[in-house]
Structures are given as C-alpha cells and as structure tokens.
C-alpha cells in the first residue's frame, strides 16, 4: 500500500479512469454534503494564507501491476462520493463558463470549459466507456455519463447525480459569485491518495479502517463489500446481478435494518450462537465465511446459500409467502413480536423447500412455537431466555422424526425456558391482568375466530371491560356486584372473564349491565362468539365473571395445546443435548465475560442460561479456561467465590473477593451484594452491546 498527499485535480488529470465496483452502494450525497463542499472550496479559494484544503481520502486498487498502460480501470473502494461530487461541480462549472463572453471563459489559467473537460472529466482520444474518467455503478452510470457528455439523461436514469449537478448549476448562477475564488479553491483541494497493489494489499481491510467522511456504512454494506471485493470483475458482475442485488431488493420495502437482522439470524442459525451482537454482525459474518473457506467452501457457495435463505426469510418474515395457509400462520406468529424464533424458522423453512417436511409439518411447528410464546407471555415467564432457546433449537432436531423431535425439545425445556403446562396456563388465564398484556388483542381475536372456516376481521373492535374500569362505580354496579364489590372489582377487573371485544366502546362506558346488553348493537345483538351468552344473562357479578373466565380458559388451552411426544423421543432429545454440550462452542461465554463490567458479578447458572448450556460443564470450562477474562466475576448461586476457582496464573495469590471489592462489589461477609448481580437477560444485553 502506498499513501501520499496528493492534489485532487492533479490526481484526476493523471488517472486514466476510476471505476466504482458494481457492489458499491449508489451515489448518495445530498445537497447538505454538496453545500459543505461548496463552502469549503470557496473558503480555500478566498483565503490566500491557505495553500491547500484537505478533503479526505481516496482509496483505490491500481490497475494491472500498477502500470498506466493497461486498459483496466483503477477500482475505487473508498472516496467515490467525494470524487463524484467534485467531478459534478467541475462539469457544472464547465457548462456555466460556456455561457459567459469569450474573454471571461477562463477566469483562472487552466479552467476553461475545454481544459476542464479534457483534463479532469474525459479521455479525449478514447471512445465508449473509456472516454469517461469516472465510471459509476448501477443507475448512476448512465446519469453521470449524460452529464459529462452533455447529452439528455436517459429515461429511468434519475439519481442523486442529476439532482446534485442541477444544484451546482443553481449555485453557479447566484449573483455575486467570484469564479476566481471557486477555481482557486478547486485547485487547492488535497486528498490522501491511497493506492493498493493487486495481489499484495488487502482492499477489504483497508476499506474497513479508512471508511472516512461521508455516510456511515451499514453492516450490510460491509458484508457485501467483503463478499464481492476479492472477486474478479466478471465474478463480481455475476454474483452481484445474479444474487446480491435481487437479495437486497427483497428488503427495500422493509424497515431499515431488516437486512442486518436477517444476517444476524442467519449466523445464529448456522452457528447456534445466541450472543451475537448487533454491532458485530459483520465481524461474525467474516469469521463464519473464513471458517467455511478453510473447510473447502467457496465465496460463491456462501453467496448462493445466503441468497437462498434470504428468500426463505422474506417468505416468513416479510410477507412474501405464496401459500395462503402458511402465510396466515406466519402472520399470526409475527403478531407475537418474537423475531428470536427466526433462526429456527430458517432451518424449518429450508427443509420444507427441500421436500424434507410437508406444509402440514410446517404448520404444526409454527403452531407449537406460537403456543410456546403465548403461554409463556400469559404466564409472565421472562423472555430473556428466548434467544438462547431458539439459537440452539436446531441442534435438537431429528430430521428422520422432525415434528416429534421438535415437540420433544419443547417439552424438555425446564426452569426459565419451560413450556408452561396446562395448569399454569389455566391459572394465569383466569386470574392474571390480561388487559395490560401486550398480546390481549391477539388472544381475543384468535379465540373469536377459533373454528371458523372464514375468519372475521376484528380490526375495528376495541377491548371492552364488561364490568367498567371506573373506580367510582355507579350505584347500579355496586348493587350488582354485592357487598364485596370493591374486592370483586379489584380482583377481576382486568381478567379474561371480564374482557371482550366491541365496536361500541365509547357508547358502553359505565352503563349498567342490562343497558350494555340491550342497547342497539349491545351484547344481545353482538355477532361475536366471545359475547355468546351475554345476551341471556340478567346480571354481571363475580359468579358470571368466574364462569366465563373458566370457559374461555378451557377454549384457550384447546386452541394452544401442549405438544405431545413419546418418552423415547424425549430421551433422544436429552441424549442429543448431552452430546451437544460435549461439543459446545465456548466463544459465546468468552464474549460475555469480556463484556461483564467491573463492579458487577454473575453466577455460573445465569451464564449457563445465557449461552444455552448446563451450569456444571460451564463451571468446569471457566475454571480451566485460559481465554476467559473476568472469570473471577462469576460466583456461585449464593454469591460466593467458588472453592474450585483458580487464577490463570498459578502463582497469582490474590484473593478474588478482595479484587471484586476494589472494583466496587459490596460483600456481607463472604456473600456479594445481590443488587449488583447480572442475570441471564442482562448478560445477553451486554453481549448485544
């Protein structure tokens, strides 16, 4: 690699041609960046004491062995936004000078229209693409060439190129502009000219470290460049147009960041690592790609695999699934807002597309997954273990007995990962506050449409309390509820038995039950199954709330049933889990320990829960691990230093308790302050950055 301070215009004059590789993002500078460049140029030109103005770096791979005789262009890998904008300004300046009287068309020596074009914008003795000193990628190319050649911009070639050159034309037409200052300022622009030699330098490494001023690259940008940068131009074209561009287009209508999210789930599916941080997706992808290549995989195979799974992801996560039954199941699952299941779905959907499982199998798996998520939410089981659960789920699947093995895995989950059984689910359904439950609308909609051949839309309905929320209950309601009306109101107000759907919420308000029942559109006339029987009830009290709650709870248990699997399948899953633990990838533990801050501590059990293993093998690993930083911050479940703890350096005589105390951990005797403990959920958050 060679790096020099270089005058930008001299560089443009000396270079035969720059080309932006096809995989680079499109030209995206806005008027804000253009105005900043304009102001910098005028300031430099009008300030005599300034001999130069630094405007960033240009990093490019020199053509064939660094010679200037090859017809192959220099490939820009960083700085295209800056180079393009300066050349647009030069093109607009040349146009503007042509409109002036002949004796004013060269305000500064070397800045006539002809000289600007011949020296900085074109190769006057070349034809075709070789005529242009800068070749942009994608839709920017025809727009840029039309601007430089002063020809009409082709239909469909609209881009920021067209908008920004028009902006510079407007700036040049402003009264009072000093063209001498502008030309002198352009002449003072300096860049760091970073030239990479083909076959010697690593363009991707330089690109990562020198992505300077301009728009910050996303993780997806970095991944795309990593995948395509080392390929030959022909392979770049093939991989980009055949795979990468169609893959990116699947995400154009999705929320920002969904492509990064997909890659994160893809890596989790492939590696079973639940601790992958959002900010480290690119680094993790690069590590995964290099590991594949060491095992004999090619970069093309990786792109093809990523493309295939992006299609699958779009089907279940972005609404492109063509099968109406599967599409409906995926939409229902999406309403539970648990994207942590996507690593599992990537594996399931791939096996479905490969013919390994059927549509019915997929529906059964999605139903089990939805049931698991909903039951846990209703039972208020913390969600902090979901990521670990689904990151490692695929390793438990028996491809020869697919659905049964998934059911068995769900049933073998214990403690904080457990699949709530019917009794726990039933109790929570009848007694929990479900009004403030974030999935109440989903729950009631599914109960309403259970068994219907044609589901009805309840989008225009709102959740209604049959017994009103008002703490100052009207007298009629107090009488209906009886002497213990305050207890009944407090105990049952937000429970399932007292909640329904209605299109007339504002009209119901605090009316007595008979009026809610009998008004036009009231419970007696309601077409909803949820309101079945309410039209025949004379009064609404504790007995009726309890009875309706029990009935709806039984319906919910039937609608979201516990999976079933034979004991042999359960034991097979347990056996695979034991085998998996022996082959466990401990790098996730190392990342979490690196992120565990001073003044805090965690337990072996919490750390094991976060990464998806058992406490004992984790403790064995941490106690003997040379790579485990901060291992002394991992204590027993009661907050004590483990008797088996040893420093990595056998000669280290420090007391771990003293070290923790100096870092800010408080102790009561030998026990660390529980308020400073980091649980599994927070450990995962630390790993997530």
Unique residue bearing structure tokens 């027993």: 636
Owner of token pair 């259970």: 450
Note whether residue 618 is domain-resident: yes
Q: How far apart are CA 392 and CA 122, in angstroms?
A: 57
> What is the per-residue pLDDT across 239-289, written as a single tens digit (0 to 9) for each?
988 999 899 888 887 787 899 999 999 999 998 888 787 878 888 898 899
Q: Tell whether 436 is covered by a domain.
A: yes
Answer whether residue 570 is part of any domain: no
Residues 182-190 have a mean pLDDT of: 96
Token pair, residue 677, equals: 């403990």
> How many angstroms separate the CA atoms of 530 and 464, rounded?
11
pLDDT tens-digit map of 290-338: 888 888 888 899 999 999 999 999 999 999 999 999 999 999 999 998 8
Q: Is the pLDDT of residue 391 over 60?
A: yes
**491 shares a domain with 549:** yes
Q: Is the dihedral of CA 501, 504, 508, 513 positive or negative?
A: negative
Residue 129: the pLDDT is 92
Q: Which of 648, 580, 649 is nearest to 397 (CA)?
A: 580
- The chain-wide mean pLDDT, for the chain, equals 88
Partners of 193 in the β-ladder: 4, 58
pLDDT band at 212 (very low <50, low <70, confident <90, very high): very low
pLDDT band at 351 (very low <50, low <70, confident <90, very high): very high
| Residue pair 144/132 in contact by the 8 Å Cβ criterion | yes
Q: How many CB atoms lie within 10 A of CB 155?
A: 7
Q: How far apart are CA 302 and CA 109, in angstroms?
A: 54
* Helix and strand counts by DSSP (H, E) for the chain: 32, 12
For residues 547 and 656, state if they share a domain: no
Q: Which residue has the tokens 């599994």?
A: 680
Q: Residue 65 pLDDT more than 50? A: no
Residue 45 belongs to some domain of the structure: yes
Half-sphere exposure of 566 (CA within 13 A, CB side): 3
- Which domain-ending residue is among 503, 526, 559? 559
Tell me the pairing of strands 189-196 and 2-7.
antiparallel
Highest mean pLDDT out of 167-176, 214-223, 573-582: 167-176
pLDDT category, 141, cuts 50, 70, 90?
very high
Contacts of 328 (CB under 8 A, 6+ apart): none
> CA nearest 313: which of 373, 247, 374?
247
Decide if 274 contacts 588 (C-beta within 8 A): yes
What whole-number distance in Å separates Cα of residue 5 and Cα of residue 191?
Answer: 6
Summarised one tens digit per residue, pLDDT across range 46-59 is: 998 889 999 888 98
pLDDT in tens, 165-177: 999 999 999 999 9
Q: Give the phi and the psi of residue 161 in degrees, each rounded to 5.
A: -55, -50
Same domain, 364 and 261: yes
| Digit-coded pLDDT (tens) for 394-420 | 888 999 999 999 999 999 998 889 999
DSSP 153: P
Is 410 in the same domain as 430? no
Alpha carbon 653 to its chain centroid, in Å, reads 45
Q: What is the CATH number of the domain that holds 626?
A: 1.10.10.10
| 346, 388: one domain | yes
| 629, 587 Cβ separation under 8 angstroms | no
pLDDT band at 428 (very low <50, low <70, confident <90, very high): very high
Give the residue carrying structure tokens 């893959």. Answer: 247
Query: Domain range holding 330?
Result: 229-423
Q: Please determine, for residue 69, whether its predicted confidence score (pLDDT) is greater than 60.
A: no
For residue 66, pLDDT over 60 is answered with: no
Counting every residue, how long is the chain? 689
Q: Where among 423, 448, 471 does a domain terminate?
A: 423
Does 551 lie in the same domain as 589? no
Give the least confident one: 434-438, 586-590, 655-659: 586-590
440 and 410 in a single domain? The answer is no
pLDDT at 503: 78
Mean pLDDT on 218-222: 81
Give residue 36's pLDDT band: very low, low, confident or very high (50, 70, 90).
very high
Are 532 and 551 found together in one domain?
Answer: yes
Taking each helix axis from N to C terminus, what angle separates 299-317 and 324-334, rounded to the nearest 10 degrees? Answer: 80
The DSSP result for 628-641, as a single string, is -TTGGGEE-TTS--
User: Would you state the pLDDT for residue 10?
Assistant: 95
Measured distance CA(321)–CA(460) in Å, rounded: 26
Res. 71 pLDDT band, cuts 50 70 90: low
Please report whether residue 566 resides in a domain: no
For residue 461, give the 3-state DSSP assignment. coil
Q: How confident is the model at residue 208 (pLDDT cuts 50, 70, 90)?
A: low
Q: CB of 330 within 8 A of CB of 369?
A: no
Of the candidates 385, 299, 411, 398, the residue with the CA atom closest to the CA atom of residue 347: 398
Of 215, 246, 271, which residue is a domain's last? 215
Say if residue 346's pLDDT is above 70. Answer: yes
Residue 462 and residue 406 in one domain: no
Shared-domain flag, residues 166 and 144: yes
Q: Is 193 a member of any domain?
A: yes
Does the residue 382 lie in any domain? yes
Q: Which two tokens stand for residue 53?
A: 């103005």
Can you tell me the distance from the alpha carbon of 168 to that of 508, in angstroms, rounded to the nearest whole number?
62
DSSP H stretches of helix in 413-461: 422-431, 440-449
Q: What is the pTM of this model?
A: 0.73
% residues pLDDT > 90 (the chain)? 53
Long-range contacts of 546-552 (CB under 8 A, 24+ apart): 546/430, 546/492, 546/497, 547/497, 548/497, 548/498, 549/429, 549/430, 549/492, 549/495, 549/496, 549/497, 549/498, 550/430, 550/497, 552/429, 552/447, 552/496, 552/497
Number of domains in the chain: 4
Together in a domain, 396 and 268: yes
The residue-averaged pLDDT of 87-104 equals: 96
Alpha helices in 277-337 (DSSP H): 281-294, 299-317, 324-334
| Residue 687 pLDDT > 80 | no
More confident residue, 338 or 41: 41
In this structure, are 418 and 432 located in the same domain? no
- 34 within a domain of the structure (yes/no): yes
Q: Starting from the edge strand earliest in sequence, which strands make up the sheet with 74-78, in order? A: 2-7, 189-196, 53-61, 74-78, 18-19, 134-135
Give the tens place of pLDDT for each residue, 503-545: 776 666 788 999 889 888 888 988 899 999 999 999 999 999 9
Output helix, strand, coil percentages for the chain, rounded to the nearest 5.
55, 10, 35
């Amino acid at each position: 690699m060679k790096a020099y301070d270089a005058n930008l215009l001299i560089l443009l004059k000396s270079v035969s041609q720059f080309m932006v590789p096809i995989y680079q993002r499109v030209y995206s500078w806005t008027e804000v960046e253009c105005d900043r460049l304009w102001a910098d140029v005028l300031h430099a030109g009008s300030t005599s004491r300034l001999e130069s103005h630094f405007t960033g770096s240009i990093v490019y791979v020199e053509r064939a062995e660094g010679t200037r005789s090859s017809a192959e262009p220099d490939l820009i890998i960083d700085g295209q936004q800056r180079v393009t904008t300066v050349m647009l300004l030069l093109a607009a300046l040349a146009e503007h000078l042509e409109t002036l009287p002949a004796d004013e068309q060269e305000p500064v020596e070397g800045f006539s229209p002809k000289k600007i074009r011949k020296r900085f914008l074109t190769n006057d003795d070349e034809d075709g693409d070789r005529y242009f000193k800068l070749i942009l990628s994608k839709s920017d190319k025809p727009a840029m060439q039309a601007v430089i050649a002063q020809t009409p911009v082709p239909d469909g070639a609209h881009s920021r190129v067209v908008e920004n050159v028009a902006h510079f034309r407007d700036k040049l037409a402003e009264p009072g502009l000093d063209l001498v200052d502008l030309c002198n300022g352009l002449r003072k622009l300096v860049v760091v000219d970073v030239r990479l030699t083909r076959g010697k330098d690593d363009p991707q490494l330089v690109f990562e470290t020198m992505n300077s001023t301009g728009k910050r690259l996303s993780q997806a940008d970095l991944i795309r460049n990593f995948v395509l940068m080392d390929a030959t131009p022909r392979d770049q074209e093939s991989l980009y147009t055949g795979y990468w561009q169609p893959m990116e287009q699947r995400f154009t209508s999705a929320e920002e960041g969904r492509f990064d999210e997909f890659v994160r789930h893809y890596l989790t599916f492939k590696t079973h690592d639940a601790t992958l941080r959002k900010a480290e997706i690119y680094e993790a992808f690069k590590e995964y790609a290099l590991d594949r290549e060491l095992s004999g995989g090619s970069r093309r195979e990786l792109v093809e695999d990523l493309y295939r799974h992006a299609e699958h992801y779009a089907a279940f996560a972005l609404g492109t699934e063509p099968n109406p039954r599967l599409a409906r199941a995926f939409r229902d699952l999406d309403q539970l807002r648990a994207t942590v299941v996507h690593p599992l779905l990537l594996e399931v959907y791939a096996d479905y597309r490969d013919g390994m499982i059927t549509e019915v199998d997929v529906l059964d798996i999605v139903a089990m997954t939805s049931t698991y998520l909903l039951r846990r939410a209703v039972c208020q089981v913390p969600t902090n273990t979901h990521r670990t659960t689904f990151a490692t789920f695929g390793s438990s699947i028996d491809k020869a007995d697919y659905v049964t093995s998934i059911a068995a895995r769900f049933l073998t989950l214990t403690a904080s990962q457990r699949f709530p059984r019917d009794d726990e689910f039933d109790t929570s359904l009848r007694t929990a506050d479900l009004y403030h439950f974030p999935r109440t609308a989903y729950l009631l909609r599914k109960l309403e449409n259970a068994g219907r051949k044609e589901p009805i839309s309840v989008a225009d309905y709102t959740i209604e309390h049959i017994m009103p929320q008002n703490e100052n209950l009207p007298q009629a309601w107090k009488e209906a509820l009886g002497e213990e009306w305050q207890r009944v109101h407090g105990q049952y107000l937000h429970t399932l038995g007292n909640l329904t759907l209605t299109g007339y919420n504002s009209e119901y308000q605090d009316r007595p039950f008979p009026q809610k029942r009998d008004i036009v559109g009231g419970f007696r006339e309601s077409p909803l199954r949820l309101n079945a029987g309410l039209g025949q009830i004379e009064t609404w009290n504790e007995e009726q709330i309890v009875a309706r709650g029990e009935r709806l709870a039984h319906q919910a248990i039937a609608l979201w049933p516990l999976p079933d699997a034979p004991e042999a399948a359960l034991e097979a899953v347990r056996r695979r889990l034991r085998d998996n633990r022996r082959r466990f990838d401990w790098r996730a533990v190392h990342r979490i320990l690196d992120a565990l801050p001073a003044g805090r501590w965690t337990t072996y059990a919490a750390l094991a829960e976060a990464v998806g293993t058992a406490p004992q093998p984790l403790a064995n690993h941490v106690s003997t691990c040379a790579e485990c930083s901060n291992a002394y911050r991992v204590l027993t479940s009661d907050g004590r230093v483990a008797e088996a703890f040893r420093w990595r350096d056998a000669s280290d005589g420090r007391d771990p308790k003293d070290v923790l105390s100096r870092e800010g951990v408080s102790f009561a005797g030998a026990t660390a302050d529980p308020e400073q403990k980091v649980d599994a959920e927070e450990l995962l958050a630390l790993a997530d950055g």
